[in-house]
């Protein structure tokens, strides 16, 4: 295990517990994917708040581990070959933690690829589309008089929810009876769409009964409840 003090990110966020995985994040839909995953696999970690209100994400220290200036990022002192590993992109981090822990991703090759396809469904579809819809509902986009851009993201969000709802019919979780990183990736975004963005009425969310059922089951998990609050906001 290397001394993490040699990593620039620790100049701004000192590691009190350098033997533990370091998490740099904010409790957003992407951020809580990793905190929930860490809580689920019971891996010791030290969380650090990246405060967007203070432009922490643009500092050289944060860019040293996340050059795309997005949360979350991790620095694992116990990476492959016993060397530290820094990672950004929540999907990559979920796969890394699943493989590191041997948990929450199927071991059967075919099922593993099916799990990864739903992870990519979130990364390439649900995240970008829900995020853009949120911009037009919650942020500066709501001031745009032309309704066509917002409607485009409403329609695409409805389409994605329809795909997911159909898939979840007769399934307990996205991978059937097995809770996985696919659920951890997708469901915080569903929560954000109807909660933080308050866009449920726009997409007629209550008609997606299977999505609602699985979301409620997800939110009842103790590890999820803990992970949703990590890192704690100032």
What DSSP letter does each residue of 158-181 carry, written as one string?
HHHHHHHHHHHTT-SBTBBTB--H
Domain ranges (residues) in the chain: 4-103, 109-223
CATH node for 109-223: 1.20.1050.10
Question: pLDDT tens per residue, the chain (234 residues)?
Answer: 467 988 999 999 999 999 999 999 999 999 999 999 999 999 999 999 999 999 999 999 999 999 999 999 999 999 999 999 999 999 999 999 999 999 999 999 999 999 999 999 999 999 999 999 999 999 989 899 999 999 999 999 999 999 999 999 999 999 999 999 999 999 999 999 999 999 999 999 999 999 999 999 999 999 999 999 999 987
CA dihedral 8, 11, 14, 17 (to 10 degrees): 40
> What's the DSSP call for residue 143?
G
Name 81's Cβ contacts closer than 8 Å, sequence gap at least 6.
none
What pTM was estimated for this model as a whole? 0.96
Domain range 4-103, its CATH number among 3.30.1490.100, 3.40.30.10, 1.20.1740.10, 3.40.1010.10 = 3.40.30.10
Q: What are phi and psi of 231, to 5 degrees?
A: -70, 150
Same fold: 4-103 with 109-223: no
């Amino acid at each position: 295990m290397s001394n993490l003090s040699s990593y620039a990110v620790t100049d701004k966020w000192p590691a009190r517990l350098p033997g533990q995985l370091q998490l740099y994040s904010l409790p957003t839909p992407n951020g809580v994917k990793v905190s929930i995953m860490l809580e689920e696999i019971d891996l010791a970690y030290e969380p650090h708040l990246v405060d967007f209100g203070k432009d922490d994400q643009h500092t050289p220290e944060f860019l040293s581990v996340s050059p795309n200036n997005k949360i979350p990022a991790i620095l694992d002192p116990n990476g492959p070959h016993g060397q530290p590993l820094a990672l950004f992109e929540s999907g990559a981090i979920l796969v890394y933690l699943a493989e590191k822990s041997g948990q929450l991703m199927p071991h059967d090759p075919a099922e593993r690829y099916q799990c990864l396809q739903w992870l990519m469904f979130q990364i390439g579809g649900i995240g970008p589309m829900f995020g853009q819809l949120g911009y037009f509902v919650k942020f500066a986009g709501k001031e745009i008089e032309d309704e066509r851009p917002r409607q485009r993201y409403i329609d695409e969000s409805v389409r994605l929810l329809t795909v997911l709802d159909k898939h979840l019919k007769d399934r307990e979780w996205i991978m059937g009876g097995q809770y996985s990183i696919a659920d951890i990736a997708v469901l915080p975004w569903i929560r954000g769409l109807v909660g933080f963005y308050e866009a449920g009425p726009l997409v007629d969310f209550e008609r997606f009964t299977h999505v609602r059922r699985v979301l409620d089951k997800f939110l009842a998990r103790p590890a999820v409840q803990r992970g949703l609050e990590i890192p704690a906001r100032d």
